[in-house]
């Protein structure tokens, strides 16, 4: 099954309102509709989407193109603009995941130079986690015989962001969501242990390490 | 002066900072600290009032820090009291060369004001590695400011980054330290601290409430900070120093080296400008008769190549004449081979023509032995073996074939990559001229270049700066001419390469070709500009440059030696000093530390012995280890036919790369064996690196180590493989420079995915 959506905000289970300063109608790829192609590989029937582009068609959706463009030379403002524009373009759920994750990771890397970007990092991670919860297949290896999740960086980033401030309950909440995707187990256990240690300070027991 | 009457003895009886400040006032000693107190108060109060006081500027090799908003008077105080040269002149030689400045810690209140929810993490990460010699601000922060904030802001650590990670005992001890400094500074913040304390109810707060608690504490600290805090803090730091002094003093006198622990060195630097005698005047005590305060290190002296005559040097050091001869010979021989190398390097570059092979590989960049490191379209491993005369290669391997490892200065062991060490010895000139020529080549001949002609001054700014410092400046006209010439190069012509063609089903074929970059005509013009400038540079500077290279390295190490004596009062042992002498010793004396000592006029207490276990042809040796560990040649298939084939290929690739690493590291195993006089243990070799790859030999770590060390030893005993590809055989079968440059070598075809390609990619993308 290959799903696509006209914009990120249309994915059921995702609560996202359009960034008001963006006019999606002016964006390249806005309103594109893919054709579904069916083929057999290794005895299995598979589907793929082909998106129209100038002079032909491509398997990369407009949102995909935003997710995988070179972002090294972009400023923080350009990165953020790119991600919010990309969310208004048609794409598959995995395209939106890589778009959100890529931007969050890049902003996280640049946090020392641009601390202001941390609010954006938090917001993008939360959006990605919403997506992962509502569309887990977006982050699953479709060719694996058993369900295998990709490594989802936004979990790790958000856990780090909270943990280093001492917001253990918030970090644990994220780690528990990560556990549903088969990751962050060590962090989850570690956070549970730390929360118990802090609680023990106040109830007089001595489970603190 | 009677001990009982001295100020210090009275001060020692006091238990709190306020009493000490009072006594100082009464005895008229407050003025002694007025400047430093004012400076400290300014910085601390501003920081507590949320100003970003400390600014960090990132640098390539070291960062720098500055203090914002000081007026002229306080800036003068900062420069005068804390400039490292001034602290040296007062006899303080204990400062580290580099320090980590925790700027974010001082700026924590500012971070909370600007980014409240993420302040602790941001503050923790805002650090700078600074050279103290370049920055009075860094010395001031290191000595006076950081220790204050490290202690005062412990609650933000305990309730931030490390919450729930410390034992009850550790936390209680940490809170005691917080109480101590809060009390010393005269801050009444108990209400604000209460909820943050161990057992204070922190676990019952939501994140927003925890954040509010931290903000309240910061606001209370800011509200209670006043001009007296600096004097109080100073007194708090001085009390342990005073106590330590009298616990060691006899008749009121004590030797500095018996008093100053590392933390107390900082105290002396912070409040007495590093001046021990000033501390004694403050205490009202006389110097110990055995005290020697070194206010200037003796000028470092070299005893080589006629730079200085030992008799003129005016020291009591006696270096026997035959040792001086040995030192002279060692340096002269190396300089002579470097010049010989340069002549060939110069000629080869000047004759390079468009359409031939690039000269990347003419200068060795790798300090290790690589099994897969052979040839790509762009890179030719060990190209120097094919282009340089055998006698030059042999001389390089003789003179740079042995080194000292800093942990074992009594042994001279084998250098793994003599040609890389020679290039390192030659220094920035070789790096610059080779890099410039290669850039011209890759800009014109493609497929791509790490920079362009216009980008050269920026890309090589370190080398250019170093050449200027060594008195051998690159003429800026070179860059202008190259920029102009670049404008006149031909248009970019795309280069494409067919990668593979696979028939996936009857009649259906996948053909993959990739764009590999582009080329432009006009290389000869760029080459001639570079050649003209390179020759002109060499005519004017090569001799003086090479002299400056060895003199600078020797002077630097000699200065370190003199500083170490100034700090300790006795010469450092060879093991203590080896890290400062390792570059000079390995570049100019083949790893013989005693020759280095002779060069700086110091009688050596070490007689290093040459131990040679490494086979003459390290590449063949590494290949033998690789084979005996079960390694075999591996080539990546372009397209895997199914998922299983892909996974099998990945597993094989993983095993291959691990065995390759283990085999390549076998030369380091032998090097360690030479240094230790026995086979190294796993923990000496490096358990983490080995452990990561050991499964390629055996799932059991210890068993893998036994198999590995046995294989290495066995390979060492074997005669060399007659592969015809080893460095020595290649050197013997030298087909001559022109044949190589015209592409007539027996170079193998490009091997996608091999380690030489990694090297190639590194060059292309290392920007």
Rounded to two decimals, the pTM is: 0.72
Q: Is the pLDDT assigned to residue B689 strictly greater than 80?
A: yes
Dihedral of the alpha carbons of B576, B581, B582, B585, in degrees to the nearest 10: -130
Q: Do B210 and A198 touch (CB under 8 A)?
A: no
Residue B625 has pLDDT above 60, yes or no: yes
Contacts of B122 in chain A (CB under 8 A): 111-112, 115, 118
On whether any CB of chain B is under 8 Å from the CB of A43, the answer is no
pLDDT at B732 over 70: no
Tell whether A66 is covered by a domain.
yes
Q: Which residue has the tokens 């990605």?
A: A128
Q: With contacts defined as CB-CB under 8 Å, which chain B residues touch A165?
A: 117-121, 160-161
pLDDT band at B641; cut points 50, 70, 90:
low
Residue A165 falls inside a structural domain? no
Phi then psi dihedrals of residue A164, to 5 deg: -75, -15
| A98 occurs within a structural domain | yes
pLDDT (mean) for A180-201: 93
Examine the pLDDT at B762 and tell me if it is beyond 50: no
Helix axes of B34-48 and B229-248: crossing angle, nearest 10 degrees: 130
Distance from the A162 Cα atom to the nearest Cα atom in chain B, whole angstroms: 8
* Nearest residue to B136 via CA among B89, B86, B69, B93: B86
**pLDDT score, position B319:** 44
Quick one: average pLDDT of B147-163? 97
The whole domain housing A115 covers 8-150
Q: Does B159 touch chain A (CB under 8 A)?
A: yes
pLDDT of B297 reads 66
Q: Please report the sign of the dihedral spanned by the C-alpha atoms of residue B544, residue B549, residue B551, residue B555.
A: positive
Given a cut of 60, whether residue A179 has pLDDT beyond it is yes
Cβ–Cβ pairs < 8 A, chains A and B: 85
C-alpha–C-alpha distance, residues A29 and A85, integer Å: 11
**pLDDT for res A147:** 67
Place of tokens 């058993």: A146
Gap between the Cα atoms of B320 and B598, Å rounded: 9
pLDDT (average), residues A141-153: 75
| Confidence check: pLDDT of B428 > 50 | yes
Q: Taking CB atoms and an 8 Å limit, are A202 and B114 in contact across chains?
A: no
Contact: B126, A112; criterion CB under 8 Å: yes
Average pLDDT, stretch B215-238? 96
The Cα–Cα gap between B767 and B763 comes to: 8
**CB-count exposure of residue B340 (10 Å: 0-12, 13-18, 19+):** middle
Give the pLDDT confidence of B10-43 residue by residue, as tens digits.
999 999 999 999 999 999 999 999 999 999 999 9
Structure tokens that stand for A141 in this block? 């290896």
pLDDT the model gives residue B513: 64
> Which chain B residues are Cβ-neighbours of A209 within 8 angstroms?
164-167
B138 by DSSP, 3-state: which? Answer: helix
Asked if A169 reaches chain B (Cβ–Cβ under 8 Å), the answer is yes
> pLDDT-derived band of residue A206, with 50, 70 and 90 as boundaries?
low
Q: Which residue has the higher pLDDT, B235 or A58?
A: B235
The residue to which tokens 């023509």 are assigned: B353
pLDDT digits (tens, 9 = 90+) for B62-90: 899 999 999 999 999 999 999 999 999 99
Q: What are phi and psi of A156, to 5 degrees?
A: -60, -40
Q: Please give the residue that has the higher pLDDT: either B284 or A56.
A: B284
In terms of Cα–Cα distance, which of B416, B415, B449, B425 is closest to B363?
B425
* C-alpha distances out from residue B17 to A106, B223, B228, B230, B238, Å: 49, 21, 11, 11, 9
Residue B632 has a pLDDT of 84
Q: Is residue A183 part of a domain?
A: no
CB of B643 less than 8 A from some CB of A: yes
CA atoms of A119 and B582, how far apart (whole Å): 48
Question: SS3 string of B217-234?
Answer: HHHHHHHHCCCCHHHHHH
Which residues of chain A make contact with B118, given a CB cutoff of 8 A? Answer: 115, 118, 161, 165
Contacts of A158 (CB under 8 A, 6+ apart): A122, A125, A126, A129, A171, A174
- A185 falls within a domain: no
Judged by a CB distance cut-off of 8 A, whether residue A201 touches chain B is yes
At residue B318, the pLDDT reads: 41
A193 touches chain B (CB under 8 A): yes
- Which residue in the set B120, B200, B206 is minimally distant from A166, CB to CB? B120
Q: How confident is the model at residue B256 (pLDDT cuts 50, 70, 90)?
A: very high
Q: Is residue A16 part of a domain?
A: yes
Say how far apart CA A93 and CA A64 lie, in whole Å.
10
Residue B733, judged by CB atoms within 10 A of its CB (0-12, 13-18, 19+), counts as exposed
Element containing residue B552 per DSSP (H, E): helix B523-568
Q: Are B462 and B489 in contact (CB under 8 A)?
A: no
Q: Which residue has the tokens 């398997």?
A: A59
Residue with tokens 């060499």, as numbered in its chain: B538
Mutation target to probe the A interface, by most A beta carbons within 10 A, among B160, B164, B166, B207 is: B164
Question: How big, in percent rounded to 5, are the helix, strand and coil portions of chain A?
Answer: 50, 10, 40
- pLDDT for B717 equals 85
Mean pLDDT of B141-150: 98
The helix/strand/coil state of B173 is helix
Q: Is A166 on the interface with B (CB under 8 A)?
A: yes
The pLDDT, as a whole number, for residue B374 is 62
Alpha carbon separation from B272 to B33, B136, B241, B645 (Å, rounded): 8, 14, 12, 72
Say what the pLDDT of residue B324 is: 73
d(CA B760, CA B372): 12
The alpha carbons of chain B give a radius of gyration, in whole angstroms, of: 32
Q: Could you report the per-residue pLDDT of B266-286, keeping only the tens digit for each? A: 999 999 999 999 999 999 999
CA distance B81 to B275: 10
Chain A positions in Cβ-Cβ contact with residue B126 (cut-off 8 Å): 112
Give the separation between CA B588 and CA B553, rounded to whole angstroms.
Answer: 9
Give chain B positions within 8 Å (CB) of A120: none
Q: Would you say B370 and B754 are in contact if contact means Cβ atoms under 8 Å apart?
A: no
pLDDT at A146: 66
Q: Looking at chain B from residue 207 to 266, which residues have their Cβ under 8 Å from any Cβ of chain A?
A: 207, 210
- B494 or B529: whose pLDDT is higher? B529
Per-residue pLDDT band at B469 (split at 50, 70, 90): very high
Distance from CA of A200 to the nearest CA of B (A): 8
SS3 B408: strand
Cβ contact (<8 Å) for B207 and A170?
Answer: yes
Asked if B199 has any chain A CB less than 8 Å from its own CB, the reply is yes
Amino acid A208: pLDDT:
47
Residue of B nearest to A170 (CA): B207
Residue B371's pLDDT band, with cuts at 50, 70 and 90, is confident
If one compares B594 and B718, the residue with the highest pLDDT of the two is B594
The per-residue pLDDT for A72 is: 73
B55 pLDDT more than 60: yes
pLDDT the model gives residue A99: 96
Interface pTM (ipTM) of the complex? 0.89
Q: Is it the case that residue B636 has pLDDT exceeding 80?
A: no
pLDDT of residue B754: 37
Q: Does A189 touch chain B (CB under 8 A)?
A: no
Residue with token string 């190259």: B482
Q: What is the pLDDT of residue B386?
A: 94
Inter-chain touch B164–A161, beta carbons under 8 Å: no
Residue located via tokens 């009850």: B168
In this structure, the number of other CB atoms found within 10 A of the CB of residue B348 comes to: 20
pLDDT at B509: 65
* Predicted confidence (pLDDT) at residue B101 exceeds the cutoff of 90: yes
Question: Which phi and psi (to 5°) does residue A193 adopt?
Answer: -65, -40
Question: Does any CB of chain A come closer than 8 Å to the CB of residue B119?
Answer: yes
Structure tokens of A84? 């919010």
Counted domains in chain A: 1
| Residue A34, number of CB atoms within 10 A of its CB | 20
Nearest to B408 by CA among B553, B586, B542: B586
Highest mean pLDDT among B163-172, B496-505, B593-602: B163-172
Mutate to test the interface with B, among A72, A162, A165 (most CBs of B within 10 A): A165
Collapsed DSSP state (helix, strand, coil) of residue A112: coil
Asked if residues B751 and B757 have their Cβ atoms less than 8 Å apart, the reply is: yes
* Partners of B128 in beta bridges: B101
User: Could you give the dihedral angle defined by the CA atoms of residues B568, B573, B579 and B582, in that order, rounded to the nearest 10 degrees?
Assistant: 130
pLDDT over 70, % of chain B: 85
Q: How far apart are CA B759 and CA B752, in angstroms?
A: 12
B762 touches chain A (CB under 8 A): no
Let me know if residue A209 belongs to a domain: no
Q: Is B661 on the interface with A (CB under 8 A)?
A: no
Among A14-28, A36-50, B275-289, the range scoring the smallest mean pLDDT is A36-50
pLDDT at B179 over 80: yes
Q: Which residues pair with A44 in a beta bridge?
A: A41
pLDDT tens digits for range B289-340: 888 777 766 666 666 644 444 344 333 334 455 667 788 899 999 999 999 9
Residue carrying structure tokens 């094919």: B386
Q: How many residues appear in chain A?
A: 209
Is residue A181 assigned to a domain?
A: no
Question: Which has more confidence, A205 or B319?
Answer: A205
> A62: distance to nearest CA of chain B, Å?
24
What radius of gyration do chain A's Cα atoms show? 20
Length of chain B: 767
Given pLDDT bands bounded at 50, 70 and 90, which one contains residue B446? confident
Nearest partner of B186 among B225, B153, B237, judged by Cα: B225
Mean pLDDT of B554-575: 88
């Amino acid at each position: 099954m290959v799903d696509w959506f006209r914009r990120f905000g249309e994915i059921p289970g995702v609560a996202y309102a359009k960034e008001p300063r963006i006019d999606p109608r002016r964006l390249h790829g806005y309103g594109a509709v893919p054709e579904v192609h069916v083929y057999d590989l290794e005895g299995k029937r598979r589907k793929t989407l082909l998106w129209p582009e100038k002079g032909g068609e491509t398997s990369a959706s407009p949102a995909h193109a935003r997710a995988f463009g070179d972002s090294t030379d972009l400023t923080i403002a350009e990165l953020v603009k790119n991600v919010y524009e990309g969310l208004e373009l048609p794409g598959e759920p995995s395209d939106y995941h890589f778009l959100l994750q890529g931007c969050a990771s890049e902003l996280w890397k640049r946090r020392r130079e641009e601390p202001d970007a941390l609010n954006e990092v938090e917001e993008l991670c939360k959006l990605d986690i919403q997506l992962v919860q509502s569309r887990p297949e977006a982050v699953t290896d479709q060719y694996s015989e058993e369900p295998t999740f990709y490594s989802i960086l936004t979990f790790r980033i958000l856990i780090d962001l909270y943990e280093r401030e001492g917001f253990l309950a918030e970090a644990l909440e994220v780690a528990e969501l990560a556990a549903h995707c088969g990751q962050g187990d060590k962090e989850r256990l570690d956070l549970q242990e730390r929360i118990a240690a802090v609680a023990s300070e106040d109830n007089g027991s001595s489970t603190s390490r | 002066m009677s001990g009982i009457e001295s100020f210090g003895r009275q001060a020692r009886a006091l238990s709190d900072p306020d009493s000490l400040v009072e006594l100082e006032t009464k005895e008229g000693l407050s003025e002694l600290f007025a400047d430093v107190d004012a400076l400290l108060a300014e910085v601390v109060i501003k920081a507590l009032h949320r100003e970003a006081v400390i600014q960090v500027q990132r640098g390539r090799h070291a960062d720098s820090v500055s203090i914002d908003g000081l007026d002229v008077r306080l800036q003068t105080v900062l420069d005068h009291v804390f400039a490292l040269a001034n602290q040296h002149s007062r006899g303080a030689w204990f400062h580290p060369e580099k320090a980590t400045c925790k700027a974010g810690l001082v700026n924590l209140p500012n971070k909370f004001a600007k980014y409240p929810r993420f302040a602790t993490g941001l503050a923790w990460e805002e650090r700078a590695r600074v050279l103290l010699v370049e920055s009075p601000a860094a010395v001031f922060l290191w000595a006076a400011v950081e220790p204050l904030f490290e202690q005062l802001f412990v609650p933000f650590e305990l309730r931030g980054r490390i919450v729930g990670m410390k034992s009850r005992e550790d936390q209680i001890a940490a809170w005691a330290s917080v109480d101590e400094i809060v009390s010393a500074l005269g801050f009444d913040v108990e209400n604000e601290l209460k909820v943050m304390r161990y057992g204070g109810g922190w676990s019952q707060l939501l994140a927003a409430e925890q954040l509010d608690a931290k903000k309240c504490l910061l606001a209370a600290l800011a509200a209670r900070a006043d001009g007296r805090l600096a004097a109080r803090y100073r007194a708090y730091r001085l009390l342990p120093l005073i106590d330590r002094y009298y616990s060691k003093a006899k008749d009121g006198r004590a030797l500095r080296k018996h008093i100053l622990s590392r933390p107390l060195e900082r105290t002396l630097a912070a409040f007495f400008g590093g001046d021990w005698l000033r501390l004694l005047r403050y205490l009202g005590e006389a110097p110990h008769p055995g005290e020697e305060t070194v206010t200037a290190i003796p000028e470092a002296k070299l005893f080589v190549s006629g730079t200085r005559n030992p008799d003129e040097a005016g020291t009591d050091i006696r270096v026997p004449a035959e040792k001086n001869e040995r030192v002279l010979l060692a340096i002269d021989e190396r300089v002579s081979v470097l010049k010989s190398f340069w002549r060939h390097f110069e000629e080869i570059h000047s004759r390079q023509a468009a359409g031939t092979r690039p000269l990347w590989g003419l200068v060795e960049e790798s300090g290790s032995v690589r099994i897969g490191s052979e040839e790509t379209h762009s890179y030719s491993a060990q190209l120097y073996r094919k282009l340089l005369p055998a006698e030059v290669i042999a001389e390089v391997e003789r003179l740079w074939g042995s080194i000292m490892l800093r942990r074992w200065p009594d042994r001279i062991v084998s250098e793994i990559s003599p040609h890389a060490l020679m290039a390192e010895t030659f220094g920035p000139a070789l790096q610059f001229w080779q890099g410039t020529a290669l850039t011209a080549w890759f800009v014109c001949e493609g497929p791509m270049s790490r920079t362009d002609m216009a980008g050269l001054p920026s890309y090589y700014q370190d080398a250019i700066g170093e050449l200027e410092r060594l008195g051998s400046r690159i003429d800026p006209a070179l860059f202008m001419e190259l920029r102009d010439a670049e404008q006149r190069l031909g248009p970019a012509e795309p280069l494409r390469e067919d990668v593979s063609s696979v028939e996936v089903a009857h009649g259906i074929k996948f053909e993959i070709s990739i764009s590999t970059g582009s080329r432009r005509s006009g290389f000869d013009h760029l080459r001639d500009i570079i050649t003209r400038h390179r020759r002109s540079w060499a005519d004017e500077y090569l001799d003086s440059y090479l002299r400056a290279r060895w003199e600078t390295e020797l002077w630097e190490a000699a200065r370190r030696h003199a500083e170490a004596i100034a700090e300790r009062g006795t010469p450092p042992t060879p093991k203590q000093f080896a890290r400062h002498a390792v570059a000079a010793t390995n570049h100019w004396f083949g790893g013989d530390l005693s020759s280095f000592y002779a060069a700086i006029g110091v009688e050596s207490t070490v007689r290093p012995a040459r131990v040679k276990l490494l086979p003459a042809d390290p590449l063949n040796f590494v290949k033998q280890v690789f084979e005996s560990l079960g390694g075999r040649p591996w080539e990546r298939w372009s397209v895997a036919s199914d998922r299983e084939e892909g996974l099998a290929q990945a597993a094989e690739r993983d095993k291959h790369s691990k065995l390759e690493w283990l085999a390549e590291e076998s030369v380091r195993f032998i090097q360690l064996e030479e240094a230790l006089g026995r086979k190294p243990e796993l923990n000496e070799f490096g358990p983490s690196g080995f452990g990561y790859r050991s499964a390629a030999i055996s799932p059991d770590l210890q068993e893998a180590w036994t198999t590995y060390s046995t294989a290495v030893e066995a390979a060492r005993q074997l005669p060399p493989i007659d592969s015809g590809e080893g460095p020595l055989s290649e050197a013997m079968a030298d087909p001559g420079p022109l044949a190589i440059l015209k592409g007539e070598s027996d170079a193998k075809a490009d091997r996608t995915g091999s380690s030489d390609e990694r090297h190639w990619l590194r060059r292309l993308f290392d920007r």
